[in-house]
Amino acid sequence: GDSVTQMEGPVTLSEEAFLTINCTYTATGYPSLFWYVQYPGEGLQLLLKATKADDKGSNKGFEATYRKETTSFHLEKGSVQVSDSAVYFCALMGGSEKLVFGKGTKLTVNP
């Protein structure tokens, strides 16, 4: 079945550091790919998405590119802020039209 693997973390960075959170997937066909973010005490929010190969999703300075050849959708941000501290989830939606999530990566950004 479909699955998502993302780096487990936790990840701790200093403010203004570069962020990469790796995500790879296994799916039949051409799934849509997502990054969701969960701030402390809140539900998940969609951060960005990409629906076909080579698409780049971007939002709030975060970017991820749908790489079909490597079945990856790595999340990047050039300069993180303390307010980016949260748990980040990679997810896919394939033919079943159900979201399949990774385990989440906790990011802590220190001032």
Partner 1 sequence: ETGVTQTPRHLVMGMTNKKSLKCEQHLGHNAMYWYKQSAKKPLELMFVYNFKEQTENNSVPSRFSPECPNSSHLFLHLHTLQPEDSALYLCASSQEGLLEQYFGPGTRLTVT
* Interacting residues toward partner 1 by CB under 8 A: 4, 32, 34, 36, 41-46, 49, 51, 89, 93, 98-104
Residue type, 83: S
Residue 101 CB, shortest distance to partner 1, in Å, is 4
For partner 1, which is the closer residue by CB, 21 or 102?
A: 102
Cβ-Cβ contacts under 8 Å for 7 (sequence gap 6 or more): 21, 22, 23, 105
Comparing CB distances to partner 1, the nearer of 4 and 80 is: 4
- Rounded to whole angstroms, how far apart are CA atoms 73 and 23? 5
Residue 40 Cα distances to 58, 78, 84, 88, angstroms: 22, 22, 11, 11
Name the residue nearer to partner 1 (CB basis): 11 or 93.
93
The CB-of-49 to partner 1 minimum distance in angstroms stands at: 6
